[in-house]
Amino acid sequence: MFQGVLNTNSRLIIASYIPAMPPNAVILCSGNFSVESTLRMNGYEGTMKGCDVTLHSCMAGAYLSGNDLEVGFNSKEFPDLSPLAEYLDDMETRTAIILIAEEIGQFYRKRNRYEIRNCEAILRRLPELVEKTVLKLQRKKESIGEYQYFGMDAIELLAATPDDPDHIILTFPPSYSGDYEKMFKFLDDVFPWEKPDYKPLTSGEEYASLVTAGNRQWIYGAEHPTSEIEEILGEPISKANRSRLKDIFLYTNMEVPSHLIRRKFPVKVCDIERMTDADEITEKSKIWIHKIPGAEANYIRQLYLARNVTPSSAMYNYGVIIDGKLAGIVSFDTSTFDLPEYTKWEKVYLLGDLPVSGTRYKNLAKLIATAALSSEMQRELESIMITELKVAFTTVFSDKPSSMKYRGAWKVYNRKEGVVNYLGKFGRWDLKGAMLKWLANQRKLKAITKP
Amino acid sequence: MVGESKKIESYNKTLKKIFSEVFGGKLELILIDPASPRLRPMSKNARYMTKEQFNQLQSNLMNDGILESVPLVHRLSDGDYEIISGHHRIEAAAKAELKSILVMVIPEELDLSEKRSRQISHNAISGQDDMQTLSAMWHEVTKLSDKLYSGLDSETIGVLEKIKFEGLNAYAIRTEFISFWFLPEEVTDFEELLAHYTAIAGSKKVYLAPLEKYDTLMRGLIQAKKLSNVRNTAVAFGLLVDDLKTIIDNMEQDAATEETEQAGVA
């Protein structure tokens, strides 16, 4: 699937500027035509021109603008994809095939059954997918309406655009030049075509200078604003959050209101009663884990997460309940960390563990961190992830050599500057065992601190 | 540093004199280091801030170099101060490394009920915003940096309208969620349960199975994932189904062979 720079939040802001836009819009680096779609579907009635240099953009752009673009098929290297070649005679089905081939590209390495299955499924259902993609394309063409597309470098189209305030340049240059080409290599390999000549963007400043020169109006999007580029573009007019990705900053010379969209987490009040200083944990206490929705876990995180920790949402969230009251939460996510000793099925990432505050216990955090490795937690995660877990992995962002709450139950895996990574083996105790161990430590601590 | 603290002490004497004249000793104003251990937080505080809000407050204080609003504290019997209102402002001021902030002091120690009621009132009796007016005010904040300072955003104010949008991608293969619910065998009211669990699962198809089969299926799925090097459960399930098909085919072939052989014998 095509990954563009513009997300929902950026599109909201751009759409709000439509009433102020001049009658001619020129979109440099059309990508997946998000700008074109945003403008046209939300009332922009002026002329629109776009350009780009990839096969994806050039094929779809040619189709949307009523033009033709021929491609070949590399049957020598990709004989298994020959069913695709049957649809290359007609411009409409050819465009659909390029979009579908992009999906195939995600799985084409066929490293495992998942990728093989996806490739096979797409090829098996090719006639249906082509037919339905064509319908999507027809709808898109109708909604975009009058449109001109040029398979050329942004700089070339810019140079050909009249230098007057009746024209607006909209550009969101990709910030990942190397990967950008890699992203489209698969398509280029399968479908040889006459690529337009272009010079990869080497300097953002040079490009920004060209876009902003003259009398045209412009909107420029950047995800890596630097003081050098802001010397050219001025202060940003808007900022849009893109969840875990970098925020997008918009710059313009138009007289439009500034906008700001901050990151927000879905939050719902968690009404499980929380432990207070009136609650005592004893050997007779009952402890269990309880699955809680992500939005409720976010609420608890807002209340108790340390200031220096960046919050993020996790897939699997559990409350640690003691005698019916919430003592803390643990949150896990599938692990992307490289632990060569363990297979990908055997590890999970502990994204967060935190105790509620306001209890009589100063080191409740240690109990929560220990409970996270209990056999009950292991079984629960195994059943939800359908895997056999051996270890959990977590990261502490701190300059201290170790973290008190992990000491004992967890082991330091490695240290880097400001980061300590911990590894914990599952199933060495159950929840009750973890609690009794913690209580024993409590007694020791009390004995030590007694005058 | 000593000179600085002497200066603050001298300012505080002057402030005390002025406030004593104006408020008759009921209220004082002092300058204090926000990181001072003499400023103690309350044991409980219901008001919380998201990390983004706190970071913005800290950033504003760093930019301004001063705290523009005045927290309220009361003086404890040992001479220290307990914060009644302004916990986050004081914490953010300390993190922003402000050297001193102005703090309003109730000069006598309040009992628990009194201090809690003040603490609650400072948060509860804080008024509401009329969204139309707020929206008009928001439009008057023209610079992005000023909007950041304000702590709100365009979505919260509701000034950005919903838009229409459709991406340009290939039609995606339709997938369907199916659920398996493992229940104790004594469960008999099958139809009712099926409808109930289908609604909970939000899936189109729900299959019920006896609880005792759960571990067997899980083991099978885990093994299939390992052997085929995939994480995707649907693929693992498909592999089990493929295996099952092979077994059934073999059984059918065996049965057919046996039948032929028997026919041959007959």
List chain B residues with CB under 8 Å of A111: 229
Q: Which two tokens stand for residue B214?
A: 């759960």
CA dist A152 and A418 (Å) reads 46
pLDDT score recorded for residue A2: 52
Tell me the residues of chain B between 49 and 68 that have a Cβ less than 8 Å away from chain A: 50-52, 54
List chain A residues with CB under 8 Å of B172: 103
Residue entry with tokens 């649907």 = B234
List chain A residues with CB under 8 Å of B173: 121-122, 125, 129
Q: Which two tokens stand for residue A6?
A: 């513009």
Phi, psi of A362 (to 5 degrees): -80, -25
Indicate whether B62 pLDDT > 80. yes
Compute the residue count for chain B. Answer: 266
User: Angle between the A431-449 and A375-385 helix axes, to the nearest 10 degrees?
Assistant: 140
B72 SS3 class = strand
B175 vs A431, higher pLDDT: A431
Indicate whether A167 pLDDT > 80. yes
A238 SS3 class = strand
User: What are the tens digits of pLDDT across the range B69-106?
Assistant: 999 999 999 999 999 999 999 999 999 999 999 999 99
Domains in chain B, ordered, with CATH? 2-124 (3.90.1530.10), 131-265 (no CATH)
Nearest to A32 among B153, B163, B167 (CB): B167
pTM: 0.83
Indicate whether A1 pLDDT > 60. no
Pick from B44, B140, B171 the residue to mutate for testing the A interface (most A CBs within 10 Å). B171
For B207, the enclosing helix (H) or strand (E) is: strand B205-210
Query: What residues does CATH 3.40.630.30 cover in chain A?
Result: 287-449
A355 SS3 class = strand
List chain B residues with CB under 8 Å of A358: 43-44
pLDDT score recorded for residue A13: 94
pLDDT score recorded for residue A194: 94
A449 vs A136, higher pLDDT: A136
- The angle at the Cα of A218, spanning A216 to A223, to the nearest 5 degrees, equals 155
Q: Are the Cβ atoms of A264 and B155 closer than 8 angstroms?
A: yes
Pick from B163, B176, B232, B242 the residue to mutate for testing the A interface (most A CBs within 10 Å). B163
Mean pLDDT of A266-284: 94
* 3-state DSSP helix/strand/coil % of chain A, to nearest 5: 40, 20, 40
Q: CATH for A8-261?
A: 3.40.50
Residues A189-201: b if buried by 16+ CB within 10 A, e if exposed? ebbebeeeebeeb
Pick from B154, B214, B241 the residue to mutate for testing the A interface (most A CBs within 10 Å). B154
Query: What residues does CATH 3.40.50 cover in chain A?
Result: 8-261
pLDDT score recorded for residue B118: 95
The rounded percent of chain A whose pLDDT value lies above 90 is 71
Mean pLDDT of A176-190: 74
List chain B residues with CB under 8 Å of A12: 155, 160, 163
The CA dihedral of A103, A109, A112, A114, to the nearest 10 degrees, is: 0
CA dist A27 and A126 (Å) reads 32
Torsion sign across C-alpha atoms A324, A325, A327, A329: positive
CA dist A152 and A65 (Å) reads 14
pLDDT score recorded for residue A199: 76
Question: Which range, of A75-84, A433-442, B40-49, B198-207, averages the lowest pLDDT?
Answer: B198-207
Is the separation of the CB atoms in A57 and A154 below 8 Å? Answer: no
Q: Is 0.85 exceeded by the ipTM?
A: no
Q: Which class does domain A287-449 fall in? A: alpha beta
CA dist B113 and B120 (Å) reads 10
**What residue type is assigned to position A91 of the chain?**
M
Mean pLDDT of A380-407: 89
pLDDT score recorded for residue B1: 61
Question: Which range, of A307-311, B161-165, B172-176, averages the lowest pLDDT?
Answer: A307-311
CB pairs under 8 A between A and B: 153
State which residue of chain A sits closest to B58, comparing Cα positions.
A307
Residues contacting residue B25 through CB under 8 Å, at least 6 positions apart: B107
